Every structure is written in C-alpha cells, then in structure tokens.
C-alpha cells in the first residue's frame, strides 16, 4: 500500500524519498503532452520535456506572449546591517504552470501565491518537472520590475533516458584556439536571452553512463553556458550529482561538488544540513577562494509538517524547522556568512485550507495569528493561538535576517500599487468566466513592506500603531488609516537609495481625506528628515511634484542620499467614519529631465491565429517610438524594453471597459469579446503605459469580426 501523497512524490529536489520510489512514466502520453504544450503556449508558458524538443527549438517558433518584456531593474547595494543573508526562492508549487500565472489576466476563485516580499529576495528560481523549465513571463515581468533575477530550471530526472545527450559536443576553433562546443549549452543561453530571464538552476538527478562520464566535460559545459550568457546572468548548481558521477546529497559545499560550483556562479545545497556543516562550508569556500555568499544552503519549508511518514523531511533546525520557523535557518546562515535557498515558498497557499496569507505574514514578518490554523498536521507544529488564547509571535521571521534591497534603482522608482490579484466590476464578470477576482501576476508593482501591521515597527512589544495601510483595487492604490491614539509613529512606505543632489524629483498622486489635521510626506536624507505638508483634505485627486534640492535638511554631509519615504499624520479628523486618511495612487522618483512619452499606437486590427483546437483571435497593433532620437543620457534612467520600447504594458479598452493588460503588441480575445465584435462590432482603444506611468492612447477604432 502506497502511503505517500502526491505532494510528496512531486518534489524530487526536496522530498527525501527519491531513492525509494520507482520511476515508471505513469503520466500523460507523449501525444497528450504535446497537445497540452500547445494549449499552454496560449497562456504564455514555455517548457521542453525532451532533448529533441530542446534541439528543435528556434526563436521563430516562439509566440510574442511567451516572452518577458520588462528589463531587469538594477538595484543599488543592500541596506541594513552586515549580518544578513541573500535569499533565493525555489518556487515549486504543485508542479507549477498554473492558469493563474498566464500572461493575460484570468478569472480565479481565490487569490494564490505571488510573493509580496521581493525587496528581501535576491534570486527567484521557477521550478517544474520538465527537462527545461522557462519562467512564465508574468513572473519575470514582476520580478524584474522589483530588481530580482529570475532563473529557469534545467532538470535531469531519473526517468529521463537520454541524459548523456546533455554533454554532446564538437571541436571548434576560435580566438582562444581549439575549444569544445556544447550545442545544448548554447541552446539554454539562447532561450534565456530570447524569453528575457537571467539564468539557470542546473539540477542533475541522474548519473551519466559510466562509460561516457567525464567531469571535465561537465565543467566545460557549465563554463560555456555561464560565459555565453554574460556577466549579468546567473547559473547555479544544485547539490545532487557529485564528481564521482553519483547522486549523493552533500548538504554542504565539499570536494564532491566544488568543481561544479566553481563552473557556475553559485551552488544550492540540499536542505538536510547542520550548523557544523554550514560553518565548515564557509571555511571550505574561503580556502578555495569561492565567495561564501554564493553558497545557498537549502531550507525545506514543508519539513515542518507533521505526518505519519516513517521517514519525514528534516531541515534546519532538526526539530520544528521549515514552515513558520524558516526564519531560524535564515538567521543562522546570516550569522555564518552564507546565503539561503528557500524551497517551496508557496507552502502557506498549498498546505492550508484557510488563513494562507496570515501564515505567509507569520513566516516572513512574525505577525501573530488571530485564530487556530486549519491544516491536516498532527499537533500544532506551525504555532497559532496558545491554549490560553494569547496570540503567538514568531521571533525569527525571514525578514529579520534576510538581506534587504532598496526599492527602485539608483535614479528611478515607480509604483502604482497593483497586486497580483484584483477585483473587477460586474460588467467584466463574463470576460473573466463569471469570476469576481482575476489574476494579474505580471502586473504586481513595487509594494510597500508591512504597512498592514498595526504594531510599531521599532518596538519589541505589542503596541497599537496609529497608522496602517491596505492595498486596494478598482483602481489600485494604497489606503492609509489614521487612529489617533498614543504616540504617532511614521508609516514607512519605501526604503530607497538615491542621490539627493538635485537631479531627481518625487511625484505623488493622492486623495487626502484628513481635515483640520496635518499629513506630511517624509523624506529621509542622510540621517535627517524633511517633511512636506500635503495640504488640507479635499477628497479630490491631487498631484504633488517635489524637487529634492528644495527639501534638503540643514547640515547635510557631502553627496547626501535619499533613503526613505514615509507618511506622518497629526491631529484632525477624517471625512469618513472608518479612519481613511489618504489614498496614494502613484508614486515615482525620476530624473528632472525625464522626456515626455511621445510614441504613438497605430494599426489596431484583429487577426486569426492557430488552427483546430488552438484557433483563436487576437487584437494586434503597432507602435512608433519617437523617443529614439533622444540622447542616450536622457533615456538611460528609465527602463526600455526590446519588445515594447518605452511601454511597460498596454491597457485594452473595448466599448469603454478595461478588459486587461498586454505585455506584447498582441492580446488574445476571449469568446465573449469575439462574440461582441461579431454581433454588433466594438469600439477598441489601446493605451500604452510607460515604465514611469505616463500614458499614450490610440484613437478609438471600430472593429468587427
């Protein structure tokens, strides 16, 4: 009798039972896989199950909606103390490639995982049980917008029969003489460049044939992949295959995996490690001039689950590790000087029937639970309310020891507070399959950290805070609530790291509801604050533009830096009875000379694409970018896409309804919209939205199919 559940079987990286399970292919037939692959193309997904598929891939075979359009935002260096750990997330959520991750928004029954802690994330790996796993462009767009590098996965599992093909090579002559060339390394590099992500996790879970094994060939393959992708890319080796061509998880950096780690930019170890192994790995890395911060020690979030399995998962710490105690391992690795790789960060959404976001907040921020947790585990392994009814606070949240990075780049920051899921009005329910909520993973903006918490950020005990925030939609915005009580603590919105030398300006669109009181925007420059009065509450949309040079505190050091944006309130009442004091719709920091978006959108049309069961219609358009004549110095401060030029996305308006966003110059029309165009025709308009929020809209076009 098989006592293991499907969630356990689905995790070859971290399930701990790999060598116990047989590996027959009991999944879909090859024909069923090919059919599903074609259907997934329309969702923007790209993956390959075999070496033949990988070998046959060309750029011409891809669909525009499969590609990410958002370039990686280059962050400044980390902020905060020295003792912090870089965080890598290995996102393995029930096999992944879920419909909610599609390039275009889709109706959903409930919200799911999107990760709203991206300022604490250094690298994000998208993992699925494919030979080649390309991150969906929705994820890449959001992660790049937040400055996070995105890796796909190259996974050789035990059931794969052709793993020796990986190291196929030929001899070529170049400027460095006679060199080996690995076609599949070139393919992987080309795929990453074409689809717009930043590198690969290389996970070899099956030994090569001993008759063909050559460690030097494998290291040469890794070197070629790394060098072809360039200096800004990242290739990480997973701790499985050893130099002796055996699958032996080291759970550390050792002589058995060092050559492969050196051939890459880092190594992600298995998750069954001890403090001694961590300390030894740091010393071993230093001994071999390998950066200790490039050693990511794995932590299995699922290990905290209690079950009747005879061989349960174990991660650091051995008792109670993972889950809501993941931060304990992060703290230990920060103390040791290593980095952390968190397996399955979507655990709270996959394991719990309810309170999923509350568990995520507890795991990352240490927030207390308001009620007992609903899951199938024996006992209370994840915490919750104590027997006396007192809320428990987790003392080691991930953010306590995770390395934090500033929002934005050296000279650019923008947010419209969009989340990965949003409500829509009843007029759009047919468009979204009768659902009241739709996903928009690729739209998630740069979000403030912990504004929802009603505790003072600098106090160790429970203390009510007079300011707290909430992200709302229709339209997306940050709502800030004011409760006059006790000491008023400023509400930190964003941590940044930008020059306050007069070259930048802050722009904010908001509605102020506080009357007979005082709302100020706080700018922390150096070690001092400058406060900008936002005026009396009118409830109307207002926009304030601030030249940083006009708001510099006295006695600043040379080359001052802007490090924080915050809100403060004092006295007064709100225009409503629920304490809503201000709503912020957009917030940006950009150079003074930022050019006006002067592009045009033209040639809007409907095209038929696909055939048989994949046949569908798309709205298609072109754009003309007049900014190409501007100097490079004016353009270099803002992101610019190879696919969509100055546009971050396009908003699609049909008969006055905003029916979705597109991150290419194409938008798949659902049957409801096609029927509308067929019956009476429809007035269509495409609005291009720049990376800084500027908008250019086309004229309305009458379309009929």
Regarding whether 560 and 601 lie in a shared domain, the answer is no
Find the range with the poorest average confidence among 16-30, 579-593, 628-642: 16-30
Both tokens of 335, joined, read 């103390």
The model's pLDDT over 544-572, given as tens digits with 9 standing for 90+, comes to: 999 988 888 887 888 899 999 999 988 77
Regarding whether 617 and 579 lie in a shared domain, the answer is no
pLDDT score of 464 more than 50: no
Is there a domain that residue 379 lies in?
Answer: yes
Regarding whether 525 and 505 lie in a shared domain, the answer is yes
Residue scoring higher pLDDT (197 or 452):
197
- According to the 3-state scheme, what is the secondary structure of 526-556? CCEEEEEECCCCCCCEEEEEEEHHHHCCCCC
- Burial-class residue 206 by CB neighbours within 10 Å (0-12, 13-18, 19+): middle
Q: Is the dihedral of CA 187, 190, 194, 198 positive or negative?
A: positive
Domain termination residue (choose one: 401, 416, 431): 401
Angle of CA points 421, 426, 431, to nearest 5°: 70
Q: Identify the pLDDT of residue 237.
A: 99
The model's pLDDT over 516-530, given as tens digits with 9 standing for 90+, comes to: 888 999 999 988 999
Q: Identify the pLDDT of residue 612.
A: 82
Regarding whether 244 and 305 lie in a shared domain, the answer is yes
pLDDT score of 346 more than 90: yes
pLDDT score of 365 more than 90: yes
Is there a domain that residue 506 lies in?
Answer: yes
Q: Identify the pLDDT of residue 7.
A: 43
pLDDT score of 252 more than 80: yes
Regarding whether 506 and 633 lie in a shared domain, the answer is no
What is the distance between the alpha carbons of residues 648 and 688, in angstroms, rounded to a whole number?
A: 8
Task: Compute the average pLDDT of residues 313-334.
Answer: 94
Q: Are 338 and 292 in contact (CB under 8 A)?
A: yes
Domain termination residue (choose one: 591, 619, 635): 591
Q: Identify the pLDDT of residue 1.
A: 34
pLDDT score of 21 more than 70: no
Task: Compute the average pLDDT of residues 429-456.
Answer: 88
The model's pLDDT over 273-298, given as tens digits with 9 standing for 90+, comes to: 999 999 999 999 999 999 999 999 99
Per DSSP bridges, beta strands 437-439 and 107-108 are antiparallel
Q: Which of 695, 651, 702 is nearest to 680 (CA)?
A: 702
What is the distance between the alpha carbons of residues 302 and 597, in angstroms, rounded to a whole number?
A: 47
Residues whose CB falls within 8 Å of the CB of residue 260, separated by 6 or more in sequence, listed in order: 202, 218, 219, 222, 237, 241, 243, 267
Regarding whether 183 and 296 lie in a shared domain, the answer is yes
Residue indicated by tokens 């809501």: 324
Q: How confident is the model at residue 456 (pLDDT cuts 50, 70, 90)?
A: very low
Is there a domain that residue 25 lies in?
Answer: no
Task: Compute the average pLDDT of residues 643-664.
Answer: 96
Q: Is the dihedral of CA 113, 114, 119, 122 positive or negative?
A: positive
What SS3 class is residue 184?
Answer: helix
* 230: CATH: 3.20.20.80
Mean pLDDT estimate for the chain:
89
Q: Is the dihedral of CA 644, 648, 653, 658 positive or negative?
A: positive
Regarding whether 234 and 115 lie in a shared domain, the answer is yes
Q: How confident is the model at residue 369 (pLDDT cuts 50, 70, 90)?
A: confident
Provide the CB-side half-sphere exposure for 638 (13 A, CA).
Answer: 28
Task: Compute the average pLDDT of residues 676-688.
Answer: 92
* 642: CATH: 2.60.40.10
Task: Compute the average pLDDT of residues 361-389.
Answer: 76
Is there a domain that residue 408 lies in?
Answer: no
Q: Identify the pLDDT of residue 353.
A: 84
What is the distance between the alpha carbons of residues 5 and 704, in angstroms, rounded to a whole number?
A: 51
Q: Identify the pLDDT of residue 636.
A: 63
pTM of the model: 0.93
pLDDT score of 235 more than 80: yes
pLDDT score of 102 more than 90: yes
Task: Compute the average pLDDT of residues 672-698.
Answer: 93
Regarding whether 672 and 527 lie in a shared domain, the answer is no
What 8-state DSSP symbol labels residue 226?
Answer: H
What is the distance between the alpha carbons of residues 164 and 179, in angstroms, rounded to a whole number?
A: 20
Q: Identify the pLDDT of residue 344.
A: 96
Count of domains for the chain: 3
Residue indicated by tokens 């959404």: 349
The model's pLDDT over 484-500, given as tens digits with 9 standing for 90+, comes to: 765 677 899 999 999 99
Is there a domain that residue 426 lies in?
Answer: no
Task: Compute the average pLDDT of residues 88-108.
Answer: 96
Regarding whether 303 and 281 lie in a shared domain, the answer is yes
pLDDT score of 26 more than 60: no
Is there a domain that residue 260 lies in?
Answer: yes
Domain termination residue (choose one: 567, 591, 615): 591
Provide the CB-side half-sphere exposure for 1 (13 A, CA).
Answer: 2
Helix 215-229 and helix 183-195, axial crossing angle in degrees, nearest 10: 30
Q: Are 110 and 97 in contact (CB under 8 A)?
A: no
Residue indicated by tokens 């409907």: 606
pLDDT score of 641 more than 80: yes
pLDDT score of 592 more than 50: yes
Q: Which of 271, 288, 212, 201 is nearest to 245 (CA)?
A: 212
Q: Which of 75, 46, 106, 79 is nearest to 402 (CA)?
A: 79
Q: Which of 451, 298, 485, 447 is nearest to 367 (CA)?
A: 451
Regarding whether 360 and 294 lie in a shared domain, the answer is yes
Find the range with the poorest average confidence among 66-80, 142-156, 201-215, 506-520: 506-520
Both tokens of 275, joined, read 């403090």
* 498: CATH: 2.60.120.260
Q: Which of 475, 467, 482 is nearest to 585 (CA)?
A: 475
- Max CA pair span of the chain: 82
Regarding whether 252 and 203 lie in a shared domain, the answer is yes
Regarding whether 599 and 586 lie in a shared domain, the answer is no
Please give the distance of CA 297 from its chain centroid, rounded to a whole number: 20
Q: Are 221 and 249 in contact (CB under 8 A)?
A: no
pLDDT score of 458 more than 50: no
Range of the domain at 553: 448-591
Find the range with the poorest average confidence among 108-122, 234-248, 304-318: 304-318
Residues whose CB falls within 8 Å of the CB of residue 477, separated by 6 or more in sequence, listed in order: 417, 471, 583, 584, 585
What is the distance between the alpha carbons of residues 200 and 236, in angstroms, rounded to a whole number?
A: 6
Residue scoring higher pLDDT (325 or 9):
325
Q: How confident is the model at residue 629 (pLDDT cuts 50, 70, 90)?
A: low
pLDDT score of 11 more than 50: no
Q: How confident is the model at residue 312 (pLDDT cuts 50, 70, 90)?
A: confident
Is there a domain that residue 28 lies in?
Answer: no
Q: Identify the pLDDT of residue 558.
A: 85
Residue indicated by tokens 């048989």: 612
Phi, psi of 183, rounded to the nearest 5 degrees:
-55, -35
Q: Are 670 and 431 in contact (CB under 8 A)?
A: yes
Residue indicated by tokens 């719709």: 585
pLDDT score of 25 more than 60: no
The H-or-E segment that residue 623 falls in is: strand 616-624
Is there a domain that residue 438 lies in?
Answer: no
Q: Which residues partner with 652 through β-bridges?
A: 660, 686
What SS3 class is residue 64?
Answer: helix
Task: Compute the average pLDDT of residues 698-703.
Answer: 90
Find the range with the poorest average confidence among 136-140, 415-419, 539-543, 633-637: 633-637
Q: Which residues partner with 649 through β-bridges?
A: 689
Q: Identify the pLDDT of residue 311.
A: 59
Question: How far apart, in Å, do the first and last CA atoms of the chain sit?
Answer: 57
What is the distance between the alpha carbons of residues 201 and 224, in angstroms, rounded to a whole number?
A: 15
Q: How confident is the model at residue 467 (pLDDT cuts 50, 70, 90)?
A: confident
Residue scoring higher pLDDT (458 or 367):
367
């Amino acid at each position: 009798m098989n006592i293991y559940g499907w969630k356990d079987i689905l995790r070859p990286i971290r399930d701990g039972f790999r060598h116990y399970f047989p590996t027959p292919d009991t999944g879909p037939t090859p024909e069923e896989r090919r059919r599903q692959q074609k259907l997934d193309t329309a969702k923007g997904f790209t993956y390959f199950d075999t070496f033949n598929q990988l070998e046959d891939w060309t750029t011409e075979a891809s669909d525009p909606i499969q590609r990410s359009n958002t370039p990686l935002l280059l962050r400044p260096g980390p902020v905060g103390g020295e003792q912090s750990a870089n965080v890598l997330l290995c996102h393995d959520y029930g096999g992944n490639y879920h419909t909610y991750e599609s390039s275009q928004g889709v109706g959903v029954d409930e919200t799911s995982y999107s990760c709203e802690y991206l300022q604490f994330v250094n690298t994000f790996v998208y993992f699925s049980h494919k030979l080649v796993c390309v991150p969906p462009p929705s994820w890449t767009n959001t992660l790049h917008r937040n400055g996070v590098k995105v890796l796909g996965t190259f996974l050789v599992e035990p059931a794969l029969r052709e793993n020796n093909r990986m190291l196929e090579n030929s001899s070529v002559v170049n400027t460095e003489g006679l060199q080996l060339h690995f076609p599949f390394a070139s393919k992987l590099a080309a795929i990453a460049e074409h689809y717009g992500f930043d590198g690969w996790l290389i996970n070899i879970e099956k030994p090569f044939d001993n008759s063909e094994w050559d460690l030097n060939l494998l290291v040469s393959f890794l070197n070629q992949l790394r060098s072809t992708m360039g200096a800004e890319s990242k290739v990480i080796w997973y701790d499985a295959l050893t130099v002796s061509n055996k699958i032996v998880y080291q759970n550390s950096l050792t002589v058995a995996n060092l050559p492969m780690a050196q051939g890459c930019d880092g190594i992600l170890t298995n998750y069954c490690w001890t403090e001694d192994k961590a300390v030894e790995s740091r010393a071993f890395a230093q001994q071999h001039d390998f950066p200790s911060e490039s050693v990511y020690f794995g932590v299995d979030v699922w290990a905290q689950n209690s079950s009747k399995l005879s061989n349960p998962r174990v991660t650091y710490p051995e008792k109670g590790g993972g889950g809501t105690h993941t931060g304990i391992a992060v703290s230990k690795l920060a103390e040791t000087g290593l980095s952390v790789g968190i397996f399955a960060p979507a655990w709270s959404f996959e394991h719990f029937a309810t309170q999923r976001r509350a568990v995520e907040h507890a795991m990352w921020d240490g927030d207390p639970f308001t009620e007992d947790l609903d899951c199938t585990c024996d006992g209370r392994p994840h915490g919750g309310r104590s027997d006396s009814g007192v809320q428990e606070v987790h003392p080691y949240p991930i953010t306590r020891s995770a390395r934090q990075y500033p929002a934005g780049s050296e000279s650019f920051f923008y947010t419209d507070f969009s989340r990965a899921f949003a409500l829509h009005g009843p007029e759009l329910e047919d468009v979204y399959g009768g659902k009241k909520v739709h996903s928009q993973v690729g739209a998630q903006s740069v979000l403030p950290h912990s504004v929802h918490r009603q505790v003072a950020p600098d106090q160790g005990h429970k203390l009510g805070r007079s300011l707290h925030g909430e992200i709302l939609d229709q339209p997306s915005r940050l709502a800030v609530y004011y409760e006059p009580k006790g000491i008023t603590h400023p509400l930190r919105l964003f941590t940044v790291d930008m020059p306050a030398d007069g070259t930048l300006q802050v722009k904010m669109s908001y509605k102020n509801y506080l009357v007979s009181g005082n709302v100020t925007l706080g700018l922390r420059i150096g070690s001092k604050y400058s406060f900008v009065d936002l005026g009396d509450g009118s409830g109307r949309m207002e926009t304030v533009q601030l030249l940083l040079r006009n708001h510099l505190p006295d006695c600043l050091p040379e080359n001052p830096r802007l490090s924080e944006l915050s809100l403060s309130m004092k006295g007064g009442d709100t225009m409503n009875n629920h304490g809503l004091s201000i709503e912020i719709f957009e917030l940006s920091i950009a150079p003074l000379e930022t050019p006006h978006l002067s592009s045009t959108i033209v040639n809007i049309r409907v095209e038929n694409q696909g055939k048989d069961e994949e046949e569908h219609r798309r709205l298609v358009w072109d754009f003309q970018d007049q900014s190409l004549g501007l100097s490079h110095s004016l353009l270099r401060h803002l992101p610019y896409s190879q696919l969509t030029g100055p546009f971050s996305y396009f908003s699609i308006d049909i008969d006055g309804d905003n029916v979705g966003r597109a991150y290419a110059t194409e938008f798949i029309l659902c049957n409801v919209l096609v029927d509308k165009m067929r019956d009476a025709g429809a007035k269509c308009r495409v609005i291009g939205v720049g990376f800084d929020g500027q908008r250019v809209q086309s004229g309305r076009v009458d379309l009929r199919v």
